[in-house]
Amino acid sequence: MLNIESVLMPTKINPDIVKGEIVTQSYLSGININIKDVFLVSEKAEEDLPKDWLKFASYELILKNNTTDRRIGKYIERLKNREIKITMLPEKLRQIVMLSGLYAVINPLSLFEYDRSLNYLDLINIMISNEKIKAYGYSYRHLIDRFFIEQWAKGRLLYPFF
């Protein structure tokens, strides 16, 4: 029989191989907790960043409310209906989801080719910076945070314990 203290108190496990940081794991939930003040990113996440970002950006565009933003409405509808591909979107619309411009995570040339521009460290720096970096009224900080939450849910990233 487990006593309540051992269930609620996380115990140390092996150091994370990627960054050499120590993580703890809860007996209660089995979830790893990052007790350091740095983001922990798995090697798999770093390798899959371009593919994951492209999927995430496509999903973000499809979720945009095209009735409130007429600049992007017709393109979003065409993207939802699969009439156009993400590479065919105008530059402004691709900048909103960081697929073009100065802060492009990747720059898709076709569905299977892309130029990789940013990595996780760049994304972390943008997210924690005090600068309000936006494209056409859309905040990159919020976009990156939603992406990191998705990566956390997949077990590829651990937020720091601030």
What pLDDT, in 10s, does the model give residues 21-52? 445 565 555 666 776 777 888 888 888 898 89
What are the tens digits of pLDDT across the range 71-81? Answer: 677 888 888 88
* The overall pTM is greater than 0.75: no
Give mean pLDDT, residues 53-59: 89
Q: Is 151 in a helix, a strand, or coil? A: helix
Rounded CA-CA distance 89/82 in Å is 12
**Rg of the chain (C-alpha set):** 19
Question: What pLDDT sits at residue 158?
Answer: 81
Torsion 72-131-34-3 (CA) sign: negative
Identify the residue with better confidence: 159 or 20: 159
Question: What pLDDT sits at residue 148?
Answer: 93
Question: Is it the case that residue 159 has pLDDT exceeding 70?
Answer: yes
Q: 160: Cβ–Cβ under 8 A, 6 or more apart, which residues?
A: 34, 36, 37, 38, 39, 40
What are the tens digits of pLDDT across the range 95-117? Answer: 888 888 888 898 877 666 777 78
Give mean pLDDT, residues 143-156: 90
